[in-house]
Amino acid sequence: MKIDPKWKELNSLSDNTGQGKLSIVVPSEINNIKDIDKSQKYVYKKLKQQGNLVRRARMYREVSCLKSLKHPNIISVIDTNVEKYEDLDCKLFFVTPYIEGKNLDEFIKLSEDLSLDQIINSFVKLLDTIAYCHEENIIHRDIKPDNIMCFNNDINNLILIDFGLSFNQDEQNITPTSEHLGNRFLYLPELQNGNKTDKRSDITQLCGILFFMLTKKYPVNLQNEKDEMPHQRKDTKDYFAKMFKNNQLDKIYKIFDQAFQININERYQTIDSLKLDVENILNNQDNVNTSLEQIEIKLNQNRYLKSSKIIAEFKTIHEEISQYIMFFIDSFKEKSSVLAWIQTGYNQDFQLLQIQNTIGVKNQFDNKEIRVKYLIKYIGNEMIIQLTSDEQSREVLRCKLDDYNQHKSQMFEIIKEYYIEKINNIL
Ligand SMILES: Nc1ncnc2c1ncn2[C@@H]1O[C@H](COP(=O)(O)OP(=O)(O)O)[C@@H](O)[C@H]1O
Ligand SMILES: [Mg+2]
């Protein structure tokens, strides 16, 4: 390709179907552009149809838009001759830095392990970049994945490259193009008549980018022949259901419900409102994580840990004792079913470190009964088990918790004697 002598072509950038012919270049020996880095590669974009006045004007517009924008996430113009767009002998071109990495289209299609956090954070940065363009009154009109580069294949460093359809609202001398605006990525009805330049179309295309980042699919159109919106198609719904939790899914659906309305007045009207909703997808998730974590941290406080461990052991001991007593009382039934056990008043107290329960015996013939309360408590570093009935208490065990098994058979003997004496009184 014949190019400006300030530049030396290394190779062409393949697969370009757009307005320009792209080559990777380096500065030639005679290149004396101020601050040029001769060790870097650049991209030379040469207009394909040099004789086409509309195309010439458009490249002029592309470069003036790019030149009026100074932003780390927007490609800069290093060299150009587009100011001579009216001079048909002049072969129009412009040069930008070469961005190492894939474009977003290739990057997303090949990516496997992007998290929702990464996608949203990267997308929010892209929103900020477009918000900056809009503040400068520049509307991009062609936001799609292959017009965004992933610098160093870092999803967090997206760079807008192709402003070929962009439009500066301040510049009324160049009539907006009447050429078909739209693409395989997302067809917007309002861009078809050519005259409309509306920031809200950029916002809708941005939502298309979010959709693509989440699903790896193009939204294509706002509604298909079955009146389905992009997020209502079966394959997308299945994918969403698999990928996201319910509380996130609601929010994602709600965003696309609004984003892909046919009527532009019902879509997102400002980048700020879209940004709020997008950030909110993560907010809630964070809250859930934080509060669960907080609860876990609190539950792990020493005082809770210690008492719940002791109460858990007391519960096991309590069950063993209850079963022993009830089994013992049941053994009389073989002789007569006059006696029955009654159980009331189970209570556990984490603060006092105690469990108490009452197991009584009833003579069902003449309604006499005894009630024995037993208390398992922790004092200092010892466990104490006490039986109480008729306001008289008797200690049946006092030992370290760890030594319980060693002492329990002796304790059961004492409990048994205690009950025998009490039962004797009600017969
Ligand atoms: N500065 C650049 N650095 C690296 N790759 C680029 C650069 N500019 C363009 N490309 C690659 O070339 C493709 C087409 O470039 P683009 O500027 O979008 O032109 P058009 O869409 O008009 O053909 C991009 O999708 C990207 O993959
Ligand atoms: Mg492009």
Q: Is 22 in the pocket of ligand 1 (CB under 6 A)?
A: yes
Cβ neighbours of residue 21 closer than 8 Å, sequence gap 6 or more: 1, 12, 45, 46, 47, 48
In this model, does residue 174 exceed pLDDT 60?
A: no
Q: Residue 332: pLDDT band by 50, 70, 90 thresholds?
A: confident
In this model, does residue 16 exceed pLDDT 90?
A: no
Q: Atom 4 (ligand 1): residue with closest C-alpha? A: 99
Taking the domains of the chain in order of start, what are their residue ranges? Answer: 7-97, 104-300, 304-424
Q: Atom 25 (ligand 1): residue with closest C-alpha? A: 146
Element (H, E) at 347: strand 339-349
Pocket test for ligand 1, best of 149, 152, 163, 184 (most atoms within 8 A of CB): 149
Q: What's the CATH fold of domain 104-300? A: Transferase(Phosphotransferase); domain 1 (1.10.510)
pLDDT digits (tens, 9 = 90+) for 185-230: 999 988 876 656 789 999 999 999 999 999 999 999 999 999 999 9
Q: pTM to 2 decimals?
A: 0.69
Residue 175: the pLDDT is 44
Pick the ligand that lies closest to the CA of residue 106. Answer: 1
Same fold, 7-97 and 104-300: no
Neighbours of 48 (CB within 10 A): 14
Ligand 1 centroid to 424 CA: how many Å?
Answer: 99
Q: Is 208 in the pocket of ligand 1 (CB under 6 A)?
A: no
In this model, does residue 291 exceed pLDDT 90?
A: no
pLDDT digits (tens, 9 = 90+) for 357-405: 999 999 999 899 999 999 999 988 899 999 999 888 999 999 999 999 9
Structure tokens at 222: 């706002």
Ligand 1 centroid to 162 CA: how many Å?
Answer: 7
Q: Is 101 in the pocket of ligand 1 (CB under 6 A)?
A: no
pLDDT digits (tens, 9 = 90+) for 247-260: 889 999 999 999 99
Cβ neighbours of residue 186 closer than 8 Å, sequence gap 6 or more: 144, 204, 205, 208, 218, 219, 220, 221, 222
Ligand 2 centroid to 186 CA: how many Å?
Answer: 14
Pocket test for ligand 1, best of 7, 11, 16 (most atoms within 8 A of CB): 16
Ligand 1 nearest-atom number relative to CA 101: 4
pLDDT digits (tens, 9 = 90+) for 100-130: 999 999 999 999 889 999 999 999 999 999 9
Pocket test for ligand 1, best of 61, 93, 162 (most atoms within 8 A of CB): 162
Pick the ligand that lies closest to the CA of residue 40. Answer: 1
Structure tokens at 173: 């001398």
Superfamily for domain range 7-97: Phosphorylase Kinase; domain 1 (3.30.200.20)
Element (H, E) at 425: helix 404-425
Contact present, 77 and 69 (Cβ < 8 Å): no
